[in-house]
């Protein structure tokens, strides 16, 4: 913890992920959510602009409290509010089966205990509820995957614990959720950071 991790990094990531392509990915990924919604890794609220008006109650969890001011501005612009429910996706302060949808973008790569976070996501989703995820991770190309493994330590130190090579769909399936729709491809930019998974999984 320090100025870099607490202040510089969350703002830097918010900027880096604010491309036209990524905004479109955010928009399509949250287009069909409604009711009670939890965002795991809410950060500076980059998805808020794209949330449909059918969202009735927004819960959020993220340890990066220093960017809540940015999130507040985005929420005000949409006439929305948020209820923060703790600081760690692996310990959700919500009752069992209490949300209709969970959104998580570029966060399952970073949460230290990602298995526990996914098990918590499954716990709080109602039956038939859905997890909408976008994340980067392990490339199917063995050469790229080898580079990802090699760079993992350095990358994690620079980017707040982010892993380059998590197999996100495998982790989602292992949590007991069923993946209904799924796509994966490289984003623009370095391949080691850019193999992007997008999917929706149901409890």
Closest distance of CB 203 from ligand SAM, Å: 19
| Residue 89 or 129 having the CB closest to ligand SAM | 89
| Residue 13 or 146 having the CB closest to ligand SAM | 13
Contact 114, 166 (CB under 8 A): yes
**Residue 5 burial (C-beta neighbours within 10 Å; 0-12, 13-18, 19+):** middle
What are the residues whose beta carbons fall under 8 Å from the beta carbon of 103, sequence distance 6 or more?
29, 30, 33, 37, 38, 39, 40, 47, 131, 132, 133
| Residue 121 or 145 having the CB closest to ligand SAM | 121
Residue 14 sits at φ, ψ, to 5 deg, of -60, -40
Closest distance of CB 46 from ligand SAM, Å: 4
| Residue 91 or 146 having the CB closest to ligand SAM | 91
Q: Which residues of the chain form contacts with ligand SAM (CB under 6 A)?
A: 10, 13-14, 17, 40-41, 43, 46, 61-64, 88-90, 105-107, 110-111
**Distance in angstroms (rounded) separating the CA atoms of residues 69 and 15:** 15
Closest distance of CB 36 from ligand SAM, Å: 18
């Amino acid at each position: 913890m320090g100025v870099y991790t607490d202040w510089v990094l969350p703002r830097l990531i918010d900027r880096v992920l604010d491309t036209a392509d990524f905004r479109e990915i955010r928009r399509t990924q949250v287009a069909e959510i409604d009711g009670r919604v939890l965002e795991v890794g809410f950060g500076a609220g980059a998805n808020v602009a794209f949330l449909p008006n059918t969202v009735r109650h927004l819960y959020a969890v993220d340890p990066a409290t220093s960017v809540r001011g940015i999130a507040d501005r985005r929420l005000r612009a949409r006439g929305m509010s948020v209820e923060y429910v703790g600081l760690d996706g692996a310990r959700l302060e919500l009752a069992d089966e209490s949300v209709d949808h969970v959104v998580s973008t570029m966060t399952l790569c970073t949460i230290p205990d990602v298995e526990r976070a996914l098990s918590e996501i499954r716990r709080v989703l109602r039956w038939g509820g859905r997890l909408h995820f976008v994340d980067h991770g392990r490339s199917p190309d063995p050469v790229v995957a080898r580079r990802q493994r090699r760079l993992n330590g350095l990358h994690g130190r620079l980017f707040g614990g982010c892993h380059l090579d998590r197999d996100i769909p495998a982790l989602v399936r292992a949590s007991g959720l069923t993946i209904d729709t799924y796509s994966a491809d490289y984003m623009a930019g370095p391949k080691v950071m850019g193999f992007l998974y997008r999917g929706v999984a149901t409890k």
